[in-house]
Homo-oligomer: A and B are copies of this chain.
Amino acid sequence: MDKLHLVKIGGNIIEQPVVLSSFLRDFADLKGPKILVHGGGKEATEFAKKLNIPVEMIDGRRITDQTNLELITMVYAGKLNKSIVAQLQAFSCNALGLSGTDANAYQSKKRAIGEIDYGFVGDLQLVNTAFFMELLSQNIIPICCAVSHDGQGQLLNINADSVASGIAQALASRYDVTLSYCFEKKGVLENIEDELSVIPQINYEKYQELKAKGIIAQGMLPKLQNCFEALDQGVKEIRIGGPELLSKRSFYTKIHK
């Protein structure tokens, strides 16, 4: 099977032009089929401030009313996505920006109202595998943002980590998928105060141990949970690291079964 690199970058990287540009050059240099998924939550939050739009987060998830949904669509699918695509085009990478509604690339289901009403937030339901494979076969590189739709005309805010993991899983039977999460740290840290205390490898047993010790907590919990689900669904390798993860010199945390 061909190798496929599926890379996710977070908002902290995107908002720093120099770091982003260096990351995008590394991404452009990756050989073979590849897909980029990007977040952008921080930028959306800052933009909301400018517009005096209240932002409410619960457990790191944005409560998404109509106004916040429009804002997110503008920032993620508009400003960030097109800026990333334009930069990649300049690096001779034939990038194509996507939201989940474009060619129904990734469809989601509005989250049911339970104790919390998240508003226009969706959970990934369906990945258009054939469409992604068709693009990749033409050397067109999909650049996916965290906006999806329900197939009934409603756009939905969706978690970028889940989009990356979901696409990786959907393509795992067609490619040897390496899923890389690039964020502001150099990996999963043993000691959150020490930037260099990167844990080189985590398997499921070690994950349980680190969780019990409280070393893995908060935002890292769902991220790692996602990783083990993806491994169960056939994704070959998962890496968590910094913006320089795609360059050969970098170290990172490898997640494996």
Contact = CB atoms under 8 A, between A and B. Distances in A.
Nearest to A92: B151
Interface string A81-115: 11101110110001111010111100000000000
Contact of A103 (B74, B76, B101, B140): B140
Interface residues of A, number: 37
A77 interface: yes
Contact of A73 (B83, B151, B155): B83
Contacts of A154: 86
Nearest to A94: B103
Q: Is the interface of A mostly helix, strand, loop or mixed?
A: helix
Contacts of A172: none
A16 interface: no
Contacts of A218: none
A239 interface: no
A77 B86 contact: no
A100 B151 CA distance: 25
A51 interface: yes
A198 B33 CA distance: 53
A140 B96 CA distance: 14
A179 interface: no
Contact of A102 (B90, B97, B134): B97
Given A74-B78, A96-B103, 20 more contacts: A51-B51, A74-B79, A77-B77, A77-B78, A77-B97, A78-B78, A78-B81, A82-B102, A85-B102, A86-B101, A86-B155, A89-B101, A90-B151, A94-B103, A94-B104, A95-B101, A95-B103, A96-B102, A97-B101, A134-B138
Interface of A: 50-51, 70, 73-79, 81-83, 85-87, 89-90, 94-97, 99, 101-104, 134, 138, 140, 147, 149, 151-155
23 contacts: A51-B51, A70-B79, A73-B79, A73-B83, A76-B78, A77-B78, A78-B78, A78-B79, A82-B102, A82-B147, A85-B101, A85-B102, A86-B149, A86-B153, A87-B153, A89-B104, A90-B153, A95-B101, A95-B102, A96-B103, A97-B101, A97-B102, A103-B140
